[in-house]
Amino acid sequence: MKILFCSTEELREFVPVGVNVTFENLKPSLLEAAESILIPYLSEELYDRILTKYQAANTEMSEPEQVLFQRMRLVVARFGLAMYVPEGEVKVTDSGISTIGKSENLTAAYDHQVLRLVESLIQKGFDALERLLTWLEAAPQLTAFPEFANSEQYTRSLRGLVRKAGQLSDIYPIGGSRMTFNSLLPELLNVEDDRLKPLIGRDKYATIKAAANLADEYDDLRRVACKAVVFQAVANVIRLQQAIQLDAGGLRVYGTTISGTNNTKFYKVPSEKDRLAAAAEAQARADFYWDEVSTLLAEINNPGGGRFEPDFLSIGGLTMF
C-alpha cells in the first residue's frame, strides 16, 4: 500500500495514537488521507518519488527530500487519524454494529469530545498542508521538485495575473491561505476571461500577464487590473453562497475533498447581514478599480485624450456585449 508509515510507533511521532491501536486498522484511513488530500496537491509523481525512497532499504533521501517527507507525513497522519476516529468508535461484525468495549480504567468519550478531536485534527491537518505548500512554492523547492512545479495543481495557478496566496492577501485579506486561494482560483480566472480580457483586449492582457520589463503605464495597468479581478472574484464568491467565513482574519473559503472529509462543518457561518455587507463592499471596490482600469487604458490608447469606453454595457447586473 502507498502509505508513508509502517507502524503505529512511527505514526505516534506525529499524532496521539494509543499503544493498543492496531496499525492494520489505521492503514485504510492513512491511505485515504494520502490519496484524497495530499496527492492532488503534490502530484502522484512526487508522492511516488518520496514513497519509493522511503520503502527502499538502501536509498538515502537528500536533505530537501527529508524535509518534504516529514511534512508529508504530518499531513497524512492528522487527516488519517481524523478519518479513523469515527470508525474506531464502533465495531462492524456479521451481528451488526456495536461500540468498542472499554476497560475498567477507560470510559467512552462523549460525542462532543469526539467531534472536538476530529475538528482539531482536521484544522491542524489543513494548517500542516498550508505550510507544506508554502514551503514547496519557494524557488529552491520548485527546482528540487520538478514534479510539483509541473503538476496540474501548481501550473493552473500560473494561468492568471494573481498567482499566489500571498499576492492575493496583499489585495484582500485571506491570511495567506493557499486553500482559500485554490478555492478562489476558478472565479479569479473566470473574471479575467469574462471581464478583463474583453475590456483591455487580448494583446494588452498578454503583455501585463508576462510582467517582464513593463513600461510604467503597463505596470500601473497590471497592478490595478489585479485589484479589480480580486475584488470582483471575492464579491462573486460571497454572492454565490459558497462555504465562507468572514472574521478579523479576512475571508476563508472552504472546500470538500474527494473523500468527503472537509472543514466545512467547523467554520462559522457569517450572518446574512455580514455576508451582504461584505459582498457590497467588495463590489464597490471592484467597480472603483474597473473604472481605474478604463482610465489607464484610455491614457495608453490615446495619451491626453478622453476616457475609454468598454465594448460592453452592464444593465441590471447583466453584461451585454
The 10s digit of each residue's pLDDT in 141-159 is: 999 999 999 998 899 888 9
Q: Give Dmax (Cα) for the chain.
A: 86
Residue 93 — very low, low, confident or very high, per pLDDT cuts 50/70/90? Answer: very low
Backbone region of residue 59 per phi and psi (left: phi > 0; alpha: psi in -120 to 50; beta: other values): beta
Q: Which of 315, 259, 297 has its CA nearest to residue 82?
A: 259
Grid coordinates standing for 187?
A: 472565479
For residues 275 and 236, what is the distance between their CA atoms, to the nearest angstrom?
Answer: 11
Calculate the average pLDDT of the chain: 82
- Range with the lowest mean pLDDT among 70-84, 110-124, 212-226, 301-315? 301-315
Helices (H), the chain: 8-11, 23-33, 39-42, 44-55, 63-88, 111-136, 139-144, 146-149, 152-156, 165-169, 178-191, 197-200, 202-210, 216-239, 272-301
Q: Is the pTM of this model over 0.75?
A: no
Rg, C-alpha atoms of the chain: 24
Task: Check residue 113 and give its pLDDT.
Answer: 76
**Whole-number Å distance between alpha carbons of 137 and 318:** 38
Residue 280: is its pLDDT beyond 80? Answer: yes
So what's the pLDDT on residue 245?
Answer: 63
Task: Please state, in angstroms and rounded to a whole number, the distance separating the CA atoms of residues 295 and 308.
Answer: 6
What's residue 255's pLDDT? 56
The model's confidence at residue 118, banded by pLDDT at 50, 70 and 90, is confident
Please tell me the predicted confidence (pLDDT) of residue 91. 53
Q: Domain map of the chain by residue range? A: 8-93+102-146, 159-320
Hey, is 99 helix, strand or coil? Answer: strand
Hey, which residues does 320 pair with through a beta bridge?
Answer: 313
Q: Nearest Cα to 84, choosing from 38, 130, 129, 17?
A: 17
- Distance, CA of 159 to CA of 213 (rounded, Å): 19
